[in-house]
């Protein structure tokens, strides 16, 4: 059973109506690591609906959280906003400075600035959740009930956190963080409490009171999380392994939720997505690939497939090079299979049947639109990458594919894929081993490094290629004929051919590349090399 169906089965035991939540703090640019959480939630909701339940996906925007530090992409003037809530401070402009005009005229906040591009990326991958902005919930009094319980019983809350987490809270800890005289959540000392007011003294020497009914502050994270499970009626939530660790915020949250008067949601802990060779992604360190950047390289269904085809407990290494090629080609191979026919074979082992069931569900969840069937394009990523490099005109790509019998007409799906492929090729992420540069004239330096035997291969190439059928198989046959005529092995043949055609010692398969190049241009290049 696919992991999403396992979760749907767990939810069915709780009832037939569910709200699946995900949530992220908009402190910086979102990256594809963030996609794992919200796609995991989306796939659970889809599985629940497929099982006959009513399920909705919501996205909690933690814009009541404070700005923690001045990140590298911010101007030093943001030092004044450290501790201020992300939904209450201006967004950075192109120079990283506070954009006061837009904030004052449109209310465009720091949180909005980083959230909106992420929401656009989500729309492209078929995820349109209901948004639940946390700051607005505080200001509307939705946290007041939980906040009153916590402030009325601070010792009970302290006991849960210290016992479950194994860490000791400071003597002056209190289950409410007021806003100070400057609007910051930092550096206050609580001096008293009488509902609904929490009294404080701040680091500026000012005294004041915070009204918890009006959201003039916020609950600490370990209370904030279980509080919003209650008034948002959350029944399921996936979250990262940091929250799911023993003694982590879910362990304390599930006990605090009971104190607040509701059950905790069904959990699902997921592993991180890291960048190949660079480790875990981090917005603050700049070690990221943004969702929009990733979607510029690959179709949305490939990004969905990346998450759907990996168990949540398995770490994902996102490789924008050959790993991406292999992932996309696996998606194409699966799209072309008839799973129902394969699964009807009575001789199938239980293990093989489970593999087929998982692959079938993963492919369905990869679809951008729910209940949409995946369709194979019949063109591998490798072949599309080859054609996109040697044929700068899109129409020439379609002509080549038609002539080879791969397609009868171009389709919107193929046109979209070619557009993204060209963006990938022109980016820093395109793998070196797939780059194609066919020489227009002989590279004398590369040819001078050939042995006498290898140069002899070049003398037999013009005749062999001129007689060849201009297909990958035909050109391969011509290479073999040139090697036999030169009385040498294929190692020398390919060494000579790579030096001639690409001015390298090795590279991607030559025959398929040359078969898509202009025949006359290639034959002229070979003749020029022999004369050189």
Query: 14-58: per-residue pLDDT in tens?
Result: 999 999 999 999 999 888 888 999 999 999 999 999 999 999 999
pLDDT at 32: 84
pLDDT at 278: 63
For tokens 């390919």, the residue is: 494
Class of domain 3-143+220-270: alpha beta
Question: How would you classify the pairing of strands 189-194 and 197-201?
Answer: antiparallel
Q: What are phi and psi of 322, to 5 degrees?
A: -65, -30
pLDDT at 182: 95
Is the pLDDT confidence value at 321 over 90? Answer: no
Is the pLDDT confidence value at 163 over 80? Answer: yes
pLDDT at 346: 85
Is the pLDDT confidence value at 532 over 80? Answer: no
Is the pLDDT confidence value at 284 over 80? Answer: no
Lowest mean pLDDT among 145-149, 162-166, 438-442: 438-442
Q: How far apart are CA 41 and CA 19, in angstroms?
A: 10
Global pTM value: 0.89
Q: How far apart are CA 515 and CA 518, in angstroms?
A: 8
pLDDT of 461-497, one tens digit each? 999 999 999 999 999 999 999 999 999 999 999 999 9
Q: What percent of the chain has a predicted confidence (pLDDT) above 90?
A: 82
pLDDT at 530: 86
Closest CA to 35 of 264, 277, 270: 270
Is the pLDDT confidence value at 375 over 90? Answer: no
Mean predicted confidence (pLDDT) in 169-186: 96
Q: Where are the domains of the chain?
A: 3-143+220-270, 176-217, 381-434, 444-531
**pLDDT bucket at 304, cuts 50 / 70 / 90:** very high
pLDDT at 298: 84
Residues 6+ apart with CB under 8 A from 206: 180, 181
Which residues face 194 on adjacent strands?
197
- Mean of per-residue pLDDT scores for the chain: 93
Q: What is the CATH number of domain 444-531?
A: 1.10.10.350
User: What is the DSSP secondary-structure string of 167-182?
Assistant: -PPPTT--S-EE--TT
Is the pLDDT confidence value at 286 over 60? Answer: no
Mean predicted confidence (pLDDT) in 331-359: 91
Mean predicted confidence (pLDDT) in 61-85: 97
Q: How far apart are CA 344 and CA 335, in angstroms?
A: 18
Is the pLDDT confidence value at 397 over 90? Answer: yes
Mean predicted confidence (pLDDT) in 336-362: 91
Q: How far apart are CA 123 and CA 118, in angstroms?
A: 9
pLDDT of 191-226, one tens digit each? 999 999 999 999 999 999 999 999 999 999 999 999
pLDDT at 318: 85
- Quickly count: other Cβ atoms within 10 Å of residue 236's Cβ: 24
- Backbone CA torsion sign across 159, 165, 166, 170: negative
- 138 burial type by CB count under 10 A (0-12 exposed, 13-18 middle, 19+ buried): buried
Residue ranges of E strands in 146-299: 177-178, 189-194, 197-201, 207-211, 217-218, 236-240, 266-270, 273-275, 279-280
pLDDT at 152: 98
pLDDT at 287: 55
Instruction: Give the Å distances, CA to CA, from 478 to 136, 383, 441, 514, 521.
Output: 71, 21, 21, 12, 17
């Amino acid at each position: 059973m696919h992991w999403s169906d396992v979760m749907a089965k767990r939810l069915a035991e709780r009832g037939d109506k569910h709200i699946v939540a995900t949530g992220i703090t908009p402190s910086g640019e979102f990256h594809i690591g963030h996609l794992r959480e919200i796609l995991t939630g989306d796939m659970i909701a889809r599985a629940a609906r497929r099982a006959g339940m009513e399920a909705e996906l919501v996205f909690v925007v933690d814009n009541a959280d404070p700005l923690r530090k001045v990140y590298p992409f911010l101007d030093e003037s943001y030092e004044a906003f450290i501790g201020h809530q992300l939904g209450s401070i201006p967004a950075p402009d192109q120079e990283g400075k506070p954009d006061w005009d837009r904030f004052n005229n449109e209310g465009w906040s720091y949180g909005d600035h980083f959230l909106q591009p992420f929401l656009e990326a989500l729309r492209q991958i078929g995820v349109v959740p209901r948004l639940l902005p946390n700051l607005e919930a505080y200001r509307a009094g939705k946290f007041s009930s939980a906040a009153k319980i916590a402030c009325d019983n601070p010792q009970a809350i302290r006991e849960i956190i210290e016992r479950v987490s194994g860490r000791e809270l400071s003597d002056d800890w209190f289950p409410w963080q007021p806003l100070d005289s400057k609007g910051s959540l930092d550096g206050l000392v609580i001096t008293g409490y009488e509902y609904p007011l929490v009294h404080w003294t701040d680091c500026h020497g000012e005294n004041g009171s915070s009204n918890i009914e009006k959201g003039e502050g916020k609950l600490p994270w370990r209370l904030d999380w279980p509080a919003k499970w209650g008034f948002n009626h959350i029944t399921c939530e996936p979250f990262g392994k940091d929250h799911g660790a023993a003694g982590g915020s879910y362990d304390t949250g599930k006990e605090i939720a009971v104190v607040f008067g509701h059950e905790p949601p069904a959990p699902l802990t997921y592993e991180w997505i890291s960048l190949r060779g660079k480790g875990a992604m981090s917005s603050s360190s700049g070690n990221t690939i943004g969702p929009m950047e990733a979607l510029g390289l690959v179709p949305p269904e490939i990004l969905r497939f990346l998450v759907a085809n990996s168990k949540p407990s398995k770490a994902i290494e996102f490789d924008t090079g050959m790993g991406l090629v292999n992932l996309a080609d696996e998606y194409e191979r699966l799209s072309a299979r008839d799973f129902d026919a394969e699964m009807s074979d009575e001789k199938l082992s239980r293990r093989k049947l489970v593999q087929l069931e998982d692959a079938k569900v993963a492919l369905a969840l990869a679809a951008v639109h729910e209940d949409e069937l995946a369709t194979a394009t019949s063109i591998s990523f490798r072949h599309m990458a080859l054609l996109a490099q040697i044929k700068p005109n899109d129409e020439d790509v379609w002509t080549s594919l038609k002539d080879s019998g791969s397609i009868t007409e171009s389709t919107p799906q193929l046109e979209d894929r070619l557009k993204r492929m060209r963006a990938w090729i022109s980016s820093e992420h395109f793998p070196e081993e797939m780059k194609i540069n066919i020489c227009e004239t002989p590279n004398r330096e590369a040819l001078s490094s050939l042995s006498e035997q290898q140069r002899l291969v070049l003398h037999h190439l013009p005749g062999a290629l001129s007689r060849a059928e201009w297909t990958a198989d035909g050109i391969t046959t011509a290479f073999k004929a040139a090697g036999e005529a030169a009385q040498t092995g294929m190692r020398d043949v390919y060494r000579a051919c790579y030096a001639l055609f690409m001015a390298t010692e090795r590279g991607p398969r030559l025959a398929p590349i040359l078969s898509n190049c202009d025949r006359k241009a290639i034959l002229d290049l070979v003749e020029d090399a022999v004369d050189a």
